[in-house]
Amino acid sequence: MVQNKKVITNGRVIDPAQGLDRVADVLVADGKIAEITDAPLTEVPDGYEAIDASGLVVTPGFIDLHTHLRDPGYEWKETIGSGTEAAARGGFTTVSAMPNTDPCQDNAAVVDDVTRRAARDAVVRVLLIGAITKGRKGKTLSPMGELADAGVIGFSDDGDPVSDSNMMRQALSYSSSLGLPIINHAEVHSLVRGGVMNEGPVATRLGLPPVPASAESVMIARDIELAMLTGGRLHVPHVSTAASVDLIRAAKQRGRNVTAEVTPHHLTLTDSWVYGLRGEVPDVVTAVAYDTNTKVNPPLRSAEDVAALRAAVADGTIDIVATDHAPHAATDEVCTYDEAAHGINALETAFGQVMQLVHEGVLSLNDLIALLTSRPAAILGRKSGTLAAGSEADIVLLDPDAEWMVSPNDFASLSRNTPLAGATLRGRVVQTIYGGLSVWDSRSVAAVTS
């Protein structure tokens, strides 16, 4: 089993779960972390494959709690195979598939089917999120106990909110007995009213229907109140506004059982990106002055909101980064802004994007790695997201300073919908190891093509 014995030499090993940050060697055997040596090895032990990590950072594989794999039902956008390959390229060794599939993951039969196919087709670990309500229609609770028995890690109707407050109350009550989070897409439909981008000067100038920030925060306020009432576990997905951050911070100060996530795009892009000029503001607005790839739900927000989100990850109010990877076909984007689908293709660009916060001094590299590894593992309540001896050998090798240009045609994802096409990111995933096996190695790709 030579291929499953590896020693990763001379890397800067960062494992926030163990408070570890030092140059060391990581030994992997039979799919598990065997040891992190105190002193770097002088020679490679017999039977081990050596991976040189000099100048690189070695961390646990990233864990994404919010992923749309589109399978079953929308396999032209993404499949379990292509989506997990995109994950591997992005440094993610665990993804969590949202249930807005067709059929919907609202019963054990569908969950069992996806689990079985993931065991066959996925190159990284796929966890499943079950629907809160049947068909995600908000009318009847899904069989949450049955879904929990089938192995789901939480419940969400993502893409749609649970608008009925009593339905949300019941879901949170069940969640506390099941020990799993309710992940409610926070959006008050009656405030959105056909809006397609953030309410503010950019929407006014482009003449696009606006979505007010309160469409999100009003529902988060309700959900926090209901979590207090029931003792249920609330996880707030893709937080996007300063007001939402204030609510979550206040809830945590009162010791409430609330966690929250933010996406790479909400941390780094403002609504000025809607102009399609990578954040530049045009002097003259033309008839085609927008990029449909910036359409996302919740929408890209103001610079003040982005600043509040950054402060919230820095002070721990927001617990994790999650991608909300939402692949869409070209036909969903080559259209008017109104007609375009919501969502950004995020797995392969996530690390380079969030590294911006480290380069700009908002976060330390250690803190950023925690947002992607130990913190999501804590929300899952699993012994993962660490390089502790005996853990699954899910490892990523990173070059925090490598610059690369985003070329969507090179994505492993079946879709190309990113506003970052042609942008340069600083921070690259060099190699991803899942269960002791290499599932992505940018160096071997470079060797083949050069």
Return the active site residues.
Answer: 324
Torsion of CA 206, 210, 216, 218, to 10 degrees: 140
Distance, CA of 61 to CA of 40 (rounded, Å): 21
CB of 305 to Zn ion, least distance (A): 16
- Of the candidate spans 85-93, 184-192, 211-219, 314-322, the one that interacts with Zn ion by CB under 5 A turns out to be 184-192
Q: How far is CA 153 from CA 4, 24, 36, 101, 227, in A?
A: 29, 33, 30, 16, 18
Residue nearest to Zn ion (CB): 185
x/- string (CB under 5 A) for Zn ion, residues 362-391?
------------------------------
DSSP 44-84: PPTTPEEEE-TT-EEEEPEE-S-B---TTT-TTT--HHHHH
Size of the site for Zn ion (CB under 5 A): 2
CB of 77 to Zn ion, least distance (A): 16
**What residues between 390 and 409 interact with Zn ion by CB under 5 A?**
none
Judged by beta carbon, residue 342 or residue 426, the one nearer Zn ion is 342
Binding of residue 66 to Zn ion (CB under 5 A): no
CB of 69 to Zn ion, least distance (A): 15
355, 401 Cβ separation under 8 angstroms: no
Binding of residue 266 to Zn ion (CB under 5 A): no
Q: Which distant-in-sequence residues (6+ apart) come within 8 Å of 274 by Cβ?
A: 197, 202, 206, 208, 290, 291, 294, 295, 300, 337
Distance, CA of 147 to CA of 181 (rounded, Å): 13
Reading the block at residue 342, the tokens are 């919501």
**What residues between 125 and 164 interact with Zn ion by CB under 5 A?**
158
Distance, CA of 268 to CA of 306 (rounded, Å): 7
Reading the block at residue 117, the tokens are 């196919």
Judged by beta carbon, residue 296 or residue 397, the one nearer Zn ion is 296
> Angle CA(230)–CA(236)–CA(239) in degrees, nearest 5?
150
CB of 236 to Zn ion, least distance (A): 10
Judged by beta carbon, residue 117 or residue 342, the one nearer Zn ion is 342
Distance, CA of 377 to CA of 119 (rounded, Å): 21
CB of 326 to Zn ion, least distance (A): 9
The DSSP element (H or E) to which 432 belongs, if any, is: strand 424-434
Pairing of strands 210-211, 197-198: parallel
CB of 163 to Zn ion, least distance (A): 14
The one among 5, 89, 185, 301 contacting Zn ion by CB under 5 A: 185
Residues that bind Zn ion (CB under 5 A): 158, 185
